[in-house]
Amino acid sequence: MAEAQSGTGQLQEQKKGLLIAVSTSVDKIISHFGAARNLVQKAQLGDSRLSPDVGYLVLTTLCPALHALVADGLKPFRKDLITGQRRSNPWSVVEASVKPGSSTRSFGTLYSQVSRLAPLSSSRSRFHAFILGLLNTKQLELWFSSLQEDAGLLSLLYLPTGFFSMARGGCPSLSTELLLLLQPLSVLTFHLDLLFEHHHHLPLGPPQAPAPPGSPPALQQTVQAMLHLGGRLAQSLRGASGETPPGPSAPSSPPKPGSWWEQLTQASRVYASGGTESFSLRRWGSRCHRTAAEEAQERSLPTEDSTPGRGLWLGRLFGVPGGLTETESGTLKSRRPSSWLPPTVSVLALVKRVAPPEIPCSPEEPEASAPSMLQTHRAVRALCDHTAAVPDQLSFQRGEVLHVITTVDEDWLRCERDGVEGLVPVGYTSLVL
């Protein structure tokens, strides 16, 4: 007998803990409205669009407390005509409380409205939206009162040790205290967005436990690949400047063959080095059906390690001085990739060049090839129509190619078109290379 009384006392203490959580959340909401000085300010503080704090308060304090209260003592499953049994949750209590034939039918409209909200995919988010709707219509206390009075619904969904079963049986004071705690909320004016939880991406349920320490395998593989790439860059810099490493260092482990980083490195190596070496990525299409001779020929091509100068492909990519480049005679010389065109050369300097670039030509036509190159490299294209204002100027139409004779100054060129010479403004033309 003493053990039964102690067990009942522990159950009552547990149910009082649920009521304390509800009381704490109600006090926080009432203190939120305490800053209002008139009814207009109270209405603004109750609007979740004007004052999002009220939405956060309700969803983070009141809704979890009521969810735990309704879920207390629920049977794990309940019978269903179609599936045989369904898992019980607080949203199933809402569904059963608004079904036709129950003692209360005034909540059917709100239930239908929440059910049609497609973004609310979980039962917890739907229950929270239902609580927000009850606050908007000032019917939260009425719904809990009608739920407490439905004896058939409670016996169908709840165990005898549940909050509502005990409140209807041996502890009626629990139900009275709950309604007294919710009564102040019926006086306040709420205008809460039913999709507030979805719009503000609030977490559902209790916070999850933090993940165990340790980086994922993909991150470890990326870090190892970056270290390996940095080692290769340092080696290329030392090789370009002729320096030797200060001391022995442990060789960095390259990424595993076939990994995504190795495939990305090999794929970029083809474009960065300008070579034709192959890599282990499978080529689909017609190249999948290669003969054995083609495969043997491809394996016999020199690789990056056996070809002189291929080891510095990454250094040449970033403009490291001392990179090796082949000339037309087959010798190797040092040149930056960015030294193809000096940065001080401008379009006007190209136009001012007097002598055309020397090109090998046959002895039979030395005079014919030089004018042709002069015309090719010293020509401009008209960007717009221009009508000569004075006799010394040249008229032209947009898109016409004008042959440059000489440069007068920074603003004017002397050009020729169809045997007619004249001055042409530089800003109206573009150089044709």
User: pLDDT tens across 159-195, in order?
Assistant: 999 999 998 887 889 989 999 999 999 999 999 999 9
Tokens of 198: 């979805």
pLDDT for residue 41 is more than 80: yes
pLDDT of residue 389: 86
**Residue 39, pLDDT score:** 87
pLDDT, residue 216, reads 60
Give 301-343 pLDDT, tens digit per residue.
444 444 444 445 555 555 555 544 444 555 544 444 444 444 4
Interval 343-376: pLDDT, tens: 444 545 555 555 455 555 444 444 444 444 444 4
Q: Which of 201-205, 348-352, 418-422 has the lowest mean pLDDT?
A: 348-352
Across 34-47, average pLDDT: 90
pLDDT range class, residue 142, cuts 50, 70, 90: very high
SS (H, E, C) the chain: CHHHHHHHHHHHHHHHHHHHHHHHHHHHHHHHHCCCCCHHHHHHHCECCCCHHHHHHHHHHHHHHHHHHHHCCECCEEEECCCEEEECCHHHHHHHHCCCCCCCCCCHHHHHHHHCCCCCCCHHHHHHHHHHHHHHCCCHHHHHHHHHHCHHHHHHHECCCCHHHHHHCCCHHHHHHHHHHHHHHHCCCCECCCCHHHHCCCCCCCCCCCCCCCCCHHHHHHHHHHHHHHHHHHHHHHHHHCCCCCCCCCCCCCCCCCCHHHHHHHHHHHHHHCCCCCCCCCCCHHHHCCCHHHHHHHHCCCCCCCCCCHHHHHHHHCCCCCCEEECCCCCEEECCHHHHCCCCCCHHHHHHCCCCCCCCCCCCCHHHHHHHHHHHHCEEEECCCECCCCCCECCECCCCEEEEEEECCCCEEEEEECCEEEEEEHHHEEEEC
Which of the given ranges, 80-84, 294-298, 367-371, has the highest pLDDT on average? 80-84
Stretch 387-413: mean pLDDT: 89
Task: Give the residues across from 276 on adjacent strands.
Answer: none
Query: What is the signed CA dihedral for 148, 151, 157, 160, rounded to 10 degrees?
Result: 90
Between residues 174 and 207, the one the model is more confident about: 174
pLDDT above 70 covers a percentage of the chain that reads 59
Tokens in use for 330?
A: 């087959």
Indicate the range of 1-15, 126-140, 354-368 predicted with least confidence: 354-368
Say what the pTM is. 0.48
What are the beta bridge partners of residue 74? 158
- Name the least confident of 22-36, 113-127, 251-265, 280-294: 280-294
* pLDDT at residue number 423: 92
Q: Can you give the pLDDT at residue 213?
A: 53
Average pLDDT, the chain: 74
Of 20 and 225, the structure prediction assigns the larger pLDDT to 20
Q: Is the pLDDT of residue 86 over 70?
A: yes
Lowest-confidence pick of 13-27, 206-220, 383-397, 405-419: 206-220
pLDDT grade for 287, boundaries at 50, 70 and 90: very low
Range with lowest mean pLDDT among 188-192, 291-295, 397-401: 291-295
Residue 200 pLDDT: 85
- Per-residue b or e along 152-183, where b marks 16 or more CB atoms closer than 10 Å to that residue's CB: ebbeebbeeebbbbbbbeebeebbebbeebbe
Joined together, the tokens standing for residue 101 give 């034939």
Measured between alpha carbons, how far is 403 from 416 in angstroms, rounded to an integer? 5
